[in-house]
Homo-oligomer: A and B are copies of this chain.
């Protein structure tokens, strides 16, 4: 028996559960590929259908529109990251080490996880960096939020916030610092590769520098 990590998804994101069929899994697999290659704006259900070898209508049976598909994919990754954090910090008792580990996970391009067959996590990480904020930077953010579309993201930030409080129970902004860590990890990565003068890592383009920067930023604040 092959071990599989199953991320439980919000059922109102899809019309038919993509995990339950070959076509569904292909929709996820190829949309990740296409969004990564062409960017979310240029991504269409028609192109996706062609890539899979099905028809547009076929895709529409699974997802109402490309926005929900994006939210699905991104939610999946937040869920997977949450699992990674839980798994990789399981035996870490020192909260400072734990938080450092979390920052490393958030800021590092992961290797493809063999436990999730049809998904390439390293590409998902790239998508999160470039397209992640488009999931919530919309006019429907409040409706989407009511439908719990951002729960995996909020859960993850909450987990990070709790670890921050473990480091310093008196720190006043655990939630804001948590969301800042997550977002800045991605933003600095994007800037490093695309608008390098907005970072101090333009020469090396090394992700580890983002980790060092974030560690400095975070622990200066909470250990003050």
Contact = CB atoms under 8 A, between A and B. Distances in A.
Contacts of A137: 130-131, 133-134, 190
Contact of A197 (B136, B158, B194): B158
A142 interface: yes
Given A154-B197, A180-B188, A187-B179, A173 B38 contact: no
A16 B6 CA distance: 54
A138 B39 contact: yes
Interface stretch (A54-62, A78-86, A95-103, A213-221): A213-221
Nearest to A38: B139
B220 A224 contact: yes
Contacts of A216: 172-173, 221
Interface string A181-218: 00110011011001101111100000000100100110
Main DSSP-derived SS at the A contact region: helix
A176 B194 contact: no
Contacts of A42: 139
A154 B196 CA distance: 10
Contacts of A177: 217
Interface in A160-183: 172-180, 183
A141 interface: yes
A176 B201 contact: yes
A173 B131 contact: no
A41 interface: yes
Contact of A179 (B141, B173, B199, B220): B199
A186 to B, nearest CB: 10
A157 interface: yes
13 contacts: A39-B139, A134-B134, A136-B194, A145-B195, A173-B217, A175-B197, A175-B199, A175-B200, A176-B201, A179-B188, A180-B217, A183-B184, A221-B221
Given A134-B137, A136-B190, A220-B224, 16 more contacts: A39-B139, A41-B138, A42-B139, A130-B137, A142-B194, A145-B195, A154-B195, A173-B213, A175-B197, A175-B200, A178-B198, A180-B184, A180-B187, A180-B188, A216-B221, A224-B224
